[in-house]
Amino acid sequence: MASTFYSQISANKRDSFLLGLGLVAILGVLGLTIGYALTGSVSGAIGATVFAIVIGLAASMVSYYKGDAIVLAASGAREITETEAPQLFNVIRELTIAADIPPPKVYVIDDTSMNAFATGRDPQHASIAVTTGLLTRMDREEVQGVIGHELSHVRNFDIRFALLVGVMVGSIALLADFFLRFTFWGGRGRSSSSDRGGGGLQAIIFAVALVLAVLAPFFAKLVQLAVSRQREYLADASAVELTRNPIGLERALATIAGDTEVLEVANRATQHLYFTNPIMKASDGGGEPSAWFSTHPPLLDRINRLRELRGQPPVGSTAEELAAPRGDALG
């Protein structure tokens, strides 16, 4: 049975929430085991968990208020006015009205590749950046699909959600790194604790904590990537809700799938923010070498989900996709 964008939105919100809970569970288990391994007491285990959370909150505050400025500067984005891109501003205005959010600040990245991203902590403090390649090489309907996707990230608070998940993953890595360094430089002396009561249990927990300290950051990163992919699906479905036109977004994805240019200013710290992964250019229509390690779903998968919304059969490659005539590109 064909799905609707409402059912896709509900499913993706649920999946993202469950993945977020998974990260909380990883952080909690890691904190508890490390705390008990080092202190041999429940209170010490709880204290270690609280310490990790406090560090994460401190990092969150910095990122919350300064993260967007850092990302925009690192991306080489410059703010523009409506006189420089009137049709782009017209698209943004009509979609923000549909989304019932304030218009974001608009930035442009001088690069011939086709991409865009949204940043900010909430709809009242949001910015959208688009590349000059996207403005000159896509028609209005395609740009409308891309902007609808990015504004959906703003309306759905995806940027804030991604921030919290990123900080949580960072907290897990920080806690694991601290424990491994402590074990390497001074942890061997902890074996004498086995002479005390409960030392046998503590030794077992210590071994478990070592294993978790090695594996937890890896699995936390996988969960973060899965969260990112779910939010991309959600933004695609939400964009259809705003534009009432899955074809524009579908064609935009197909157009980018055939683009071989790489966004020069992108890096692994910012790649998850973009409309499509600016680093991993797929040769088979969006299928990354390993979807597990990608920040975005395969482009072909995103296209076929959009086709499902309008009752069309899936395609096997983007070469088969969208022979409809294209309009004028935005200036």
Tokens of 194: 């086995």
Tokens of 181: 């360094």
Asked if residues 31 and 38 have their Cβ atoms less than 8 Å apart, the reply is no
d(CA 259, CA 164): 32
d(CA 99, CA 95): 6
d(CA 33, CA 213): 9
Asked if residues 176 and 30 have their Cβ atoms less than 8 Å apart, the reply is yes
Asked if residues 117 and 147 have their Cβ atoms less than 8 Å apart, the reply is no
Of the listed 79, 82, 94, 150, which one is catalytic?
A: 150
| Residue 150 is a catalytic residue | yes
Tokens of 324: 């409809």
d(CA 81, CA 203): 63
Q: Which residues are catalytic?
A: 150
